Structure 1
Amino acid sequence: MVGFVSDELLGTFVPILVYWVYSGIYVLLDRFEDYRLHTRAEEDTKNLVSKRTVVRGVLLQQAIQAVVATALFAVSGNSGNASSAQLSTFTHVKRFIIAMFVMDTWQYLMHRYMHHNKFLYKHIHSYHHRLVVPYAFGALYNHPVEGLLMDTVGGALSFLISGMSPRASILFFSFATIKTVDDHCGLWLPGNLFHIFFQNNTAYHDIHHQLYGNKYNFSQPFFVVWDKVLGTYMPYTLKQRKDGGLEAYRTKD
């Protein structure tokens, strides 16, 4: 317990709070035009959904995630916080990395399938691609079915297969949330550690949101392993726009 709040409750709601706080930081940083990957004009003209609708869609998905997380903690009975405190640092790190790879594997397979299945793309996954110019708080905007199948189930599998405790899941899901928001923020800020340590970053995912990258760069949210292994990797280069900003360009067809 942290005060009077259980680890299970924190594991359910802290990532939601982190999502909106971290997104809010990027909303404030969005004024730095030189670091935007798209102009404001492109954001207004290319995106097919209003920001109000995006907020409603994200809140709906987070409500579904909260219900599923609460049920998952109750069914798994994986409270184990006392024993968790006795585990070695190596064991905690190992479980964290396992959870990252499980989430990446599930999301890659589901994401790619939703692009190649015409029915699923038209009626479900196309919701997310209404944001041709991604921005931070639109990271989790998608069809509720996609949110359940890709994000919520992916998170549940990561939790169960890795064997992490609810206390450890607070850190893991908060980190995954921050990474996902960062990948959609639309800004290439100097010194961003995600851009330094992860190939799968803001520019990498921005390529996927463009028409020419629609069948590439499916990996999310951490690594690019499956794109490289299965031939869907599209590298990019950053170039200066005439208006002073940056833009990610593909480097191969």
Structure 2
Amino acid sequence: MVFWEGYISDELMGTFAPIIVYWIYAGMYLLLPPLDQYRLHTRKEEEQKNLVPMSSVVKGVLLQQLVQATVARVLFLVTAKPVSTGAAVQPSMPVQLVQIFVAMFVMDTWQYFVHRYMHQNKFLYRHIHSQHHKLVVPSAIGALYNHPLEGLLLDTFGGAISFLVSGMTARTAVIFFCFAVIKTVDDHCGLWLPGNIFHIFFQNNTAYHDIHHQLQGLKYNYSQPFFSIWDRILGTHMPYNLVMRRDGGFEARPLKG
């Protein structure tokens, strides 16, 4: 039993809940006070280094989410059980947890190799992936700011493949995709907040991804959004020290490169 049962289908919830969660969670970061003592970059750095206005970032994210919602609707329609056979039976909680873990691994694997190739292929980087790196200083709102083709290949297809391979139901997909969205936004928030649960349980976190957005780490730390396993196995992991800046806040300093 879930709170939306009887009001909206699992398929519709799986389509639109991740979008709503994205703007709520990213908006929370936007509404926070400056919190300079927890920032990985100063506000001055953000203004000087980022090469795209926030209005363009918002438009780019909305475009990607439109594509994601369209693909999600088609995916759920194709995989939905016929009405005559009844609603899909929800697996037990342990089975759902295994499905979510499988989906996390599949998504990480897909995104690592596609992301890495977009850096290694000069044409793809110059004309497609460089759009995301215009946000040299990452921001929560810009977590899904990508070229439309990258958004389709990296995030939308990655999510679809994770859903199909894991065998999860639409109801489980609501949980998985909302969690993935929250994690992705958090990785781009630019804040090292005390007690952040993602920093405690995931090595692939805000500072880890911040390294990738900097010049020294551009060819490292490709893994996203959950684990760092492929970076470690394939030699693209860049360790770092998190140090306090003299003017306040933190800085993730690469230990090589």
TM-score tier after normalising by the smaller chain length: over 0.9
Partners of 2:191 and 2:216 in 1: how far apart?
20
Q: Classify the secondary structure of the residue corresponding to 1:238.
A: strand
Partner of residue 44, structure 1: 47
Compared with structure 1, are the counterparts of its residues 131 and 81 closer, same or farther at alpha carbon in structure 2 (3 Å cutoff)? farther
Partners of 1:224 and 1:30 in 2: how far apart?
31
Instruction: Report deviation, 1:82.
Output: 4.3
- Percent of paired sites with the same residue: 65
1:149-188 CA distance string (max 9 Å, x none): 0000000000000000000000000000000000000000
Stretch of structure 1 that moved more, 134-143 or 29-38: 29-38
Q: Classify the secondary structure of the residue corresponding to 2:7.
A: coil
Instruction: Report deviation, 1:81.
Output: 5.0
Compared with structure 1, are the counterparts of its residues 101 and 42 closer, same or farther at alpha carbon in structure 2 (3 Å cutoff)? same
8 A Cα contact 1:198 1:223, kept in partner: yes
Match of 1:204 among 196, 208, 230: 208
Instruction: Report deviation, 1:47.
Output: 0.4
Q: Classify the secondary structure of the residue corresponding to 2:241.
A: strand
Match of 2:9 among 6, 10, 15: 6
1:10-37 CA distance string (max 9 Å, x none): 0000000000000011112251110000
Q: Classify the secondary structure of the residue corresponding to 2:28.
A: helix
Partners of 1:107 and 1:74 in 2: how far apart?
25
1:122-142 CA distance string (max 9 Å, x none): 000000000000010100001
Instruction: Report deviation, 1:245.
Output: 1.1
Partner of residue 53, structure 1: 56
Partners of 1:94 and 1:247 in 2: how far apart?
36
Residue 75 of structure 2 corresponds to residue 75 of structure 1? no
Instruction: Report deviation, 1:244.
Output: 1.1
Partner of residue 221, structure 1: 225
Partner of residue 101, structure 1: 105
For 2:46, the aligned partner's letter is E
Compared with structure 1, are the counterparts of its residues 168 and 124 closer, same or farther at alpha carbon in structure 2 (3 Å cutoff)? same
Aligned residues: 251
1:109-128 CA distance string (max 9 Å, x none): 00000000000000000000
1:41-93 CA distance string (max 9 Å, x none): 00000000000000000000000000000000111125885411xx2222111
8 A Cα contact 1:78 1:166, kept in partner: no
Partners of 1:8 and 1:92 in 2: how far apart?
17
Q: Which runs of 5+ in 1 are unaligned?
A: none
> What pairs with 1:126-205 in structure 2 (closer than 5 Å)?
126-205=130-209
8 A Cα contact 1:78 1:165, kept in partner: no
8 A Cα contact 1:38 1:247, kept in partner: yes
Partners of 2:26 and 2:92 in 1: how far apart?
33
1:188-217 CA distance string (max 9 Å, x none): 000000000000000000000001100000
Partners of 2:28 and 2:101 in 1: how far apart?
27
For 1:252, the aligned partner's letter is K
Partner of residue 252, structure 1: 256
Partners of 1:48 and 1:208 in 2: how far apart?
17
CA RMSD of aligned residues (A): 1.2
Compared with structure 1, are the counterparts of its residues 167 and 247 closer, same or farther at alpha carbon in structure 2 (3 Å cutoff)? same
8 A Cα contact 1:81 1:167, kept in partner: no
Stretch of structure 1 that moved more, 20-29 or 139-148: 20-29
TM-score (norm 2): 0.95
Partners of 1:69 and 1:174 in 2: how far apart?
13
